Amino acid sequence: MNFIWTTDLQSTTYQDALKIRKKVFVEEQQVDLSIEIDDLEDQTFHVTGYLNEKAVATARLYPVTATEFKVQRVAVSNTYRGQQLGQQLMKEIERFAKENQKDTLILGAQDQAIGFYEKLGYHTYGEGFLDAGIPHHMMKKELI
């Protein structure tokens, strides 16, 4: 998978990311569009993964502190799930974080995805919570 990063909200890369997010979160999971596309869009790094020039995976990173990114909006297109693309996406996020001198990644994982993140070395912390009506837990991974 080829990854392209952007902060340009006018770019094709960002538009491709939005298409995946709208399909996965808004259509499949019934998340309200006003929640999915929020006021952090212009404060985050967006990554889109391409297979044969087709956008199939995406995520965004929000810089929380000088040493920490929050991973958000992780999504793989439905027809491409089960092919280890989410794992490839998360490894790319780790590479990018290290390149940008971040040593910690945090994320709010949907409860149904906790096992996926645990296999990648993330650990849950804190109490569970609802985000867009979906049960979540915070997770963290130290990159050191």
Using a 10 angstrom Cβ sphere, with 0-12 exposed, 13-18 middle and 19 or more buried, the burial of residue 81 is middle
What pLDDT score does 144 carry?
78
What pLDDT score does 112 carry?
95
Contact 21, 36 (CB under 8 A): yes
What's the angle, vertex CA 111, arms to CA 42 and CA 142, rounded to 5? 65
Helix ranges, 38-125 (H): 85-99, 114-119
Record the tokens describing residue 45, joined without a space.
């790094």
What pLDDT score does 26 carry?
94
Which CATH topology does 2-103 take? Answer: Aminopeptidase (3.40.630)
| In the chain, where the domains are located | 2-103
With a threshold of 0.85, does the pTM exceed it? yes
**pLDDT 10s per residue in the chain (144 long)?**
999 999 999 999 999 999 999 999 999 999 999 899 999 999 999 999 999 999 999 999 999 999 999 999 999 999 999 999 999 999 999 999 999 999 999 999 999 999 999 999 999 999 999 999 999 999 999 997
